[in-house]
């Protein structure tokens, strides 16, 4: 698989606390935007993200951001 599955064409905007998250890069996780192990066999791997302070995060939902794991608006340019 060379292209990730589009989980949704909008960001997942969530209030996050301090800690480590594993962002889904393949788009197959049932626990979007986080990894649930569904990437096995796809050639994708989760992206480790360490959050040093509580904040609201706009996680990429389309999996095509040029600034993963954060939304950069790429979903608006997908066909």
Give the confidence band of 79 by pLDDT, cuts at 50, 70, 90.
Answer: confident
pTM confidence score: 0.94
The whole-number pLDDT of residue 39 equals 96
Domain chopping of the chain, boundaries: 12-77
pLDDT digits 0-9 by tens, 25-43: 999 999 999 999 999 999 9
**Quick one: pLDDT at residue 1?**
56
- Angle ∠(22,16,75) on CA atoms, nearest 5: 65
The pLDDT of 44-58, averaged and rounded, is: 98
pLDDT category of residue 14 using cuts at 50, 70 and 90: very high
From first CA to last CA, the distance across the chain in angstroms is 19
Q: Which two tokens stand for residue 7?
A: 């989980």
Nearest to 50 by CA among 73, 79, 8, 22: 22
């Amino acid at each position: 698989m060379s292209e990730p599955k589009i989980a949704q064409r909008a960001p997942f905007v969530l209030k996050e606390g301090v800690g480590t998250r594993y962002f889904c890069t393949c788009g197959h996780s049932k626990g979007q935007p986080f990894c649930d192990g569904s990437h096995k066999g796809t050639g994708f791997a989760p992206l480790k993200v360490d959050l040093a302070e509580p904040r609201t995060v706009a996680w990429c939902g389309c999996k095509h951001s040029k600034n993963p794991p954060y939304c950069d608006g790429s979903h608006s340019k997908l066909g």
